[in-house]
């Protein structure tokens, strides 16, 4: 049963510490997304990759957040230094997103269970 | 675990009745739409999608309707079951050629026994 795997599931850290979240996308998927979910903002797109290349990270605070895909089986989201306002659930999703000519994209996204981050 | 805003709209439905969850999207150029279901403590799960060249699509117990004139999307769940209790999100792809799905704020569905 293919699924997106995220680690850690829960992380409590102190302000100023580095946090790294990891994601193993579903094998064969060409697009990986990082979303953040909070009670007030809902689901926000932070960054996404296609075929491991970063396509857009405009939703991410650049000074402290970084996202990478060192290989096809691993995506990482790093926060350094972390702040209390970063407390949220971070979701990774992957999909086999296709473009059909001028008609645009189709593609179901498969989400992981999320990494719940609490920054004290 | 929490996954939605404090002021999340809530729809309460009697078990066995049909549910209709509505969503207004923002971008008239959006060409693809998805409905997701999120249960407490879990990630969103795909339910059904629809492209902008369609106005209706049916799945198993679910139907999505798209009204491009008023930028409105709805999800109909037939014979609602306790397992349908969750938060439902619509998502739009506002820019053809990109993958920047934008999620709505969500609606909580409560199924009453």
More confidently predicted of A96 and B110 = B110
Pairing of strands A115-119, A10-13: parallel
**Average pLDDT of every residue of chain A:** 91
Give the mean model confidence (pLDDT) for residues A39-50: 90
Residues 6 or more apart in contact with residue B12 via CB below 8 angstroms: B110, B111, B112
Q: What are the pLDDT digits (tens) for B38-69?
A: 999 999 999 999 999 999 999 999 999 999 99
Q: To 10 degrees, the CA torsion angle through B81, B87, B90, B91? A: -130
Chain-chain contact of A97 with B99 (C-beta, under 8 angstroms) = yes
In this prediction, residue B5 carries a pLDDT of: 43
Tell me what percent of the residues of chain A surpass a pLDDT of 90. 73
Q: Are the C-beta atoms of residues A116 and A10 closer than 8 Å to each other?
A: yes
Spatial separation of the C-alpha atoms in residues B76 and B22, rounded to whole Å? 9
Chain-chain contact of A89 with B3 (C-beta, under 8 angstroms) = yes
Distance from CA of B40 to the nearest CA of A (A): 10
In this prediction, residue A106 carries a pLDDT of: 60
B43, B49, B52: residue with CB nearest A114: B43
Instruction: Write out chain B's pLDDT in tens, 113 residues.
Output: 333 344 689 999 999 999 999 999 988 989 899 999 999 999 999 999 999 999 999 999 999 999 999 999 999 999 999 999 999 999 998 776 667 888 988 999 999 98
DSSP B17: S
């Amino acid at each position: 049963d293919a699924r997106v795997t995220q680690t850690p599931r829960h992380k409590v850290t102190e302000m100023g510490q580095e946090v790294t979240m990891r994601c193993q996308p579903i094998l064969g998927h060409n697009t990986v997304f990082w979303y953040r979910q909070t009670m007030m903002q809902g689901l926000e797109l932070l960054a996404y990759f296609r075929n491991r290349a970063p396509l857009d990270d405009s939703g991410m605070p650049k000074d402290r957040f970084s996202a990478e895909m060192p290989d096809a089986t691993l995506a990482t989201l790093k926060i350094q230094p972390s702040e209390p306002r970063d407390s949220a659930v971070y979701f990774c999703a992957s999909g086999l997103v296709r473009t059909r000519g001028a008609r645009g994209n189709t593609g179901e996204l498969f989400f992981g269970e999320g990494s719940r981050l609490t920054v004290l | 675990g929490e996954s939605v805003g404090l002021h999340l709209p809530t729809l309460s439905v009697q078990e066995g009745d049909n549910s209709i969850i509505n969503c207004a999207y923002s971008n008239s150029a959006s060409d693809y739409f998805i409905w997701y279901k999120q249960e407490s403590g879990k990630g969103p799960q795909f339910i059904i999608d629809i492209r902008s060249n369609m106005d209706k699509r049916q799945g198993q117990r679910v139907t999505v309707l798209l009204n491009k004139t008023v930028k409105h999307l709805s999800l109909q769940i037939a014979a609602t079951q306790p397992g349908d209790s969750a938060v439902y999100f619509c998502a739009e792809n506002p820019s053809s050629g990109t993958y920047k799905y934008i999620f709505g704020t969500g609606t909580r569905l409560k199924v009453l026994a």
